[in-house]
C-alpha cells in the first residue's frame, strides 16, 4: 500500500483535474467501481452514525438512523460507565489481549521453526507432500476444528481421556476446567495456522541470495550457524512486520474460533470469554443494543490506536513494510 | 544450488517435519474413522482409530431424502457459488478502476476503501443496517452481508493489475481501443491468476461461514451446513428428526458417528478444490503478506 502514496505524491505535482471532469472522462472506470463503492458505503460508512447508540438508551421504536440521531434518549457515558464498573470489562479485555499475545508468541515461534526446518529439506517430493498436508487445517472451518477438539477432549469418548484411563489415571472433565483452555486454544491455533504461516516465512527465506550461504560456508560456518547468523537476520523484517500486523489486531478476538470451540459454555468464560463473544451475547442473547454498541466502540477506538501505533513502529523498523 | 552433506541433523529435521505433518493429519483421520464406526462400539470403547465394527448408518441418514443436513449442504453450495461469483465480479471491476492510471482520483478512492479497514463501527451498527436492508431470514442474508466484498482482496487485485506494464494500455489506446475494450480484452484476461486467488478466498470464506447465519437467520430451513454442524454438537433433537425422516426408528440414534460424519462431509468440497488451493490460494497469501 506504499504504492498508493507514491502515486499520490506524483499526482500532487501534476495539476489536478476536477473530480466531475475526471468522472466524465473515465465514465466506464468509475461506473464499474460503483458496486464496491456502494457496498462499502452501505455496510461501513452508514455504520458510523449508528455509533450514536453508544451514548443513548436504545429505544426499539427508533428504527431509522434519523430517529436514532434526533429522537434518541441520550445518556452520555452511562453505557461505558456501566461496562467498566462491571467485572466483565476487565475479564474480557484481559482475555482478549492475553490470548492474542499467546497466539502471536507461540504461533510466530512455531511457524519460524517450521519454516527454518522446511528450508533445510532438499528432497522435493517430501517437501511437497508435507507442505500440502500442513496446509490442510488452514482451510477447514473452526466448527470442523471444534469436532476435532471434541474427539480429543470429550469427557466420555475423547482420546485423551481414553489414554488417561489406560494409564490408570482419573479422567478429566476438560470442558469444565477453565485453567487448561488457554493452552488448548493455543494448541489448536498452532495446529490450524502454523503451516500456512510457515509457508509465508519460507517464501521470505527462499528469496535470500544463495551467495550469502556460500560465503558463510567458505568462512567455515556450519548449518546451525548459517541459520542463526544468515537466515534469521535476513527474515527479521518479515517477522517484525507480521508480528506488528497482528499486534494491530490485538484488540479483536477471533470470534469464529472462540465461539466454535467454547460456545455458550459458561463454565469456561473466566479464561476464554473475549470482547467479541461478550458483545455477541449482549446483542443476540441479552438484546442490550446500546451496551454492546458502547463496548464495540471501545474496542474499535483502542484497535484504531493499536493499528496506528504498530504501523508507526513498522515504519521505524522497516519503512517498506509499513501498512500505510 | 549448493551441495550439502546429508547428516544426522538433516534426518532429525525430517523427523520433526514428519511428526508435525502427522499431527496435522491424524485428528482428521480419527474423525473420519469415528464417522464409520458402529455406535455401540463408540459407546463401549470411546473414539478409536481402530473401529471394532464398521457401519455406514450415519452416512445413510445424512444422504436420505429430506434430511436437514442435505438441505444445509445444498444451501451452502448455492451460497458459495453465488457469493463467489458476485465477489469476483465486484472486486475485479473495482480493482481495475483503482489500477487505471488515467483515473486521477484513484488514490482517494483507495483511501475510501481503506478507512473502514482500520476503523470499523463494530457488529451492532452492522446488524442494524442488515435489518434495515431486510437482510434477515432470507437467502440474501447469507450472501450479501460481510462476505460479498472484501477490501483486502480488492487491494490484491489492484496491486496485481498495477504491476502490469503501462505500455499495454498505451499501445491499445493508440490502436483506438476504448476503456471498455482495454478492460475486458486485455486486463481481465491477464488478471485471471489473481482473480482465481480472490475467488478461492471468497469461496472458502462462504463455505466455512456461519456468522451470517448465527446473526441474521432464525429460519431453520435456511441454515447452511456449517451452522447446522455447530448446532448438532448440542442438539439431539435434530438427530431424531433425521431418523424420523429416513423412516428408521428401530436403531438407537447414532449420535456420535453422525456428528463426525456431518463434519466429514463439510470437508468434501475443500478436498475437491485442493489442487487449486495449493496453486492460487497459497501464492495469493504469500504475495499479500510478504511484499517485494
DSSP A149-168: HHHHH-TTT-HHHHHHHHTT
Choose the closest CB to A32 out of B1, B93, B215.
Answer: B93
The alpha carbon of residue B138 is apart from the nearest alpha carbon of chain A, in Å, by 18
Residues 6+ apart with CB under 8 A from A31: none
Q: Pairing relation of β-strands A56-57 and A73-74?
A: antiparallel
DSSP run (H or E) holding A73: strand A73-74
CB contact under 8 A, B45 and A11: no
The residues pairing with A57 across neighbouring beta strands, listed in sequence order, are: A73
pLDDT of residue B46: 79
HSE-CB at A268 with a 13 A cutoff on CA atoms is 21
**Residue A267 · residue A175 · CB < 8 Å:** yes
Residue A316 has pLDDT above 90, yes or no: no
Q: What is the CATH topology of the domain spanning B56-289?
A: MetI-like fold (1.10.3720)
User: For A178-187, A304-313, B138-147, B151-160, which range has the lowest pLDDT when averaged over its residues?
Assistant: A304-313
Q: Closest approach of chain B CAs to the CA of A96, in angstroms?
A: 16
Note the pLDDT tens digit of each residue in B101-157.
899 999 999 999 999 988 989 899 999 999 999 999 999 999 999 999 999 999 999
**Distance in angstroms (rounded) separating the CA atoms of residues B183 and B94:** 11
Residue of A nearest to B145 (CA): A43
For the residues A311-324, what does the mean pLDDT come to? 73
B175 Cβ contact partners less than 8 Å away, ≥ 6 residues apart: none
Q: Is B229 on the interface with A (CB under 8 A)?
A: yes
What nine digits make up the cell of B108?
A: 482517494
* pLDDT value, residue A3: 46
pLDDT on residue A254: 93
Q: Which residues of B touch A308 (CB under 8 A)?
A: 118
Q: Give the residues of chain B that fall short of pLDDT 50.
A: 1-3, 237, 249, 291-292
Judged on CB neighbours under 10 Å (0-12, 13-18, 19+), B188 is middle
Q: Looking at this predicted complex, what is its ipTM?
A: 0.89
pLDDT of residue B5: 55
Which grid cell sits at A125?
517430493
- pTM value is 0.89
Out of 1.10.10.10, 1.10.3720.10, 3.40.50.920, 1.10.260.40, the CATH code matching A88-321 is 1.10.3720.10
Tell me, what's the pLDDT at A182?
96
Which secondary structure element, helix H or strand E, spans residue A56, and what is its range? strand A56-57
Joined grid coordinates for residue A216: 558463510
Domain ranges of chain A: 19-76, 88-321
Query: Is A114–B20 a contact, with Cβ atoms under 8 angstroms apart?
Result: yes
**Confidence band (pLDDT; 50, 70, 90) for A221?**
confident
CA–CA distance, A240 with A251 (Å, rounded to integer): 19
How many CB atoms are located within 10 Å of the residue A210 CB?
10
The domain limits of chain B are: 19-55, 56-289
Closest-approach residue (CA) in chain A for B109: A37
Amino acid at each position: 500500500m506504499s504504492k498508493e502514496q507514491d502515486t499520490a505524491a506524483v499526482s500532487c505535482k501534476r495539476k489536478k483535474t476536477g473530480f466531475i471532469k475526471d468522472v466524465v472522462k473515465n465514465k466506464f472506470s468509475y461506473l464499474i467501481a460503483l458496486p464496491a463503492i456502494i457496498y462499502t458505503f452501505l455496510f461501513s460508512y452508514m455504520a458510523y452514525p449508528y455509533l450514536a447508540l453508544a451514548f443513548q438508551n436504545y429505544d426499539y421504536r427508533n428504527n431509522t438512523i434519523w430517529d436514532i440521531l434526533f429522537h434518541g434518549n441520550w445518556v452520555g457515558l452511562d453505557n461505558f460507565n456501566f461496562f467498566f464498573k462491571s467485572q466483565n470489562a476487565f475479564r474480557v479485555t484481559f482475555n482478549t489481549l492475553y490470548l492474542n499475545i499467546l497466539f502471536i508468541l507461540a504461533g510466530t515461534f512455531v511457524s519460524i521453526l517450521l519454516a527454518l526446518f522446511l528450508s533445510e529439506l532438499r528432497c522435493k517430493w517430501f517437501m511437497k507432500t508435507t507442505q500440502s498436508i500442513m496446509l490442510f487445517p488452514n482451510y477447514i472451518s473452526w466448527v470442523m476444528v471444534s469436532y476435532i477438539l471434541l474427539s480429543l477432549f470429550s469427557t466420555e469418548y475423547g482420546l485423551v481421556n481414553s489414554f488417561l484411563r489406560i494409564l490408570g489415571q482419573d479422567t478429566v472433565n476438560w470442558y469444565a476446567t477453565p485453567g487448561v483452555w488457554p493452552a488448548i486454544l493455543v494448541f489448536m491455533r498452532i495446529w490450524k495456522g502454523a503451516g500456512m504461516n510457515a509457508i509465508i516465512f519460507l517464501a521470505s527465506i527462499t528469496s535470500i541470495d544463495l551467495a550469502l550461504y556460500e560465503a558463510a560456508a567458505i568462512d567455515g560456518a556450519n548449518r546451525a550457524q548459517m541459520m542463526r547468523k544468515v537466515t534469521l537476520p535476513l527474515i527479521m523484517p518479515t517477522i517484525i512486520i507480521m508480528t506488528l500486523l497482528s499486534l494491530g489486531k490485538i484488540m479483536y478476538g477471533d470470534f469464529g474460533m472462540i465461539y466454535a470451540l467454547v460456545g455458550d459454555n459458561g463454565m469456561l468464560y473466566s479464561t476464554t470469554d473475549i470482547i467479541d463473544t461478550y458483545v455477541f451475547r449482549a446483542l443476540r442473547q441479552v438484546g442490550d443494543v446500546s451496551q454492546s454498541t458502547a463496548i464495540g466502540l471501545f474496542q474499535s477506538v483502542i484497535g484504531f490506536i493499536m493499528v496506528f501505533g504498530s504501523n508507526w513502529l513498522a515504519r521505524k523498523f522497516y519503512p517498506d513494510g509499513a501498512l500505510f | 544450488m549448493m551441495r550439502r552433506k546429508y547428516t544426522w541433523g538433516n534426518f532429525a529435521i525430517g523427523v520433526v517435519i514428519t511428526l508435525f505433518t502427522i499431527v496435522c493429519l491424524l485428528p482428521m483421520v480419527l474423525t473420519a474413522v469415528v464417522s464409520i464406526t458402529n455406535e455401540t462400539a463408540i459407546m463401549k470403547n470411546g473414539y478409536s482409530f481402530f473401529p471394532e465394527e464398521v457401519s455406514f448408518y450415519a452416512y445413510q441418514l445424512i444422504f436420505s431424502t429430506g434430511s436437514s443436513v442435505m438441505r444445509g449442504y445444498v444451501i451452502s453450495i448455492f451460497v458459495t457459488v453465488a457469493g463467489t461469483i458476485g465477489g469476483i465480479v465486484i472486486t475485479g471491476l473495482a480493482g481495475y478502476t483503482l489500477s487505471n492510471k488515467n483515473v486521477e482520483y484513484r488514490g482517494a478512492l483507495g483511501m475510501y476503501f481503506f478507512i473502514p479497514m482500520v476503523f470499523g463501527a463494530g457488529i451492532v451498527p452492522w446488524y442494524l443496517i442488515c435489518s434495515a436492508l431486510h437482510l434477515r431470514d432470507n437467502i440474501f442474508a447469507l450472501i450479501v452481508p460481510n462476505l460479498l466484498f472484501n477490501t483486502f482482496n480488492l487491494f490484491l487485485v489492484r496491486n496485481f493489475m498495477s504491476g502490469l506494464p503501462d505500455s499495454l494500455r498505451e499501445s491499445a489506446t493508440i490502436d483506438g481501443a476504448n476503456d471498455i475494450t482495454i478492460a475486458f480484452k486485455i486486463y481481465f484476461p491477464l488478471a485471471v491468476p489473481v482473480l482465481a486467488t480472490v475467488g478461492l478466498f471468497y469461496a472458502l470464506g462462504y463455505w466455512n461461514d456461519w456468522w451470517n447465519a448465527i446473526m441474521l437467520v432464525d429460519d431453520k430451513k435456511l441454515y447452511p451446513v456449517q451452522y447446522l454442524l455447530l448446532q448438532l454438537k448440542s442438539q439431539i433433537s435434530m438427530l431424531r428428526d433425521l431418523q424420523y425422516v429416513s423412516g428408521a426408528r428401530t436403531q438407537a440414534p447414532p449420535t456420535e458417528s453422525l456428528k463426525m460424519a456431518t463434519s466429514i462431509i463439510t470437508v468434501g468440497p475443500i478436498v475437491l478444490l485442493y489442487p487449486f488451493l495449493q496453486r492460487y490460494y497459497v501464492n495469493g497469501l504469500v504475495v499479500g503478506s510478504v511484499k517485494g
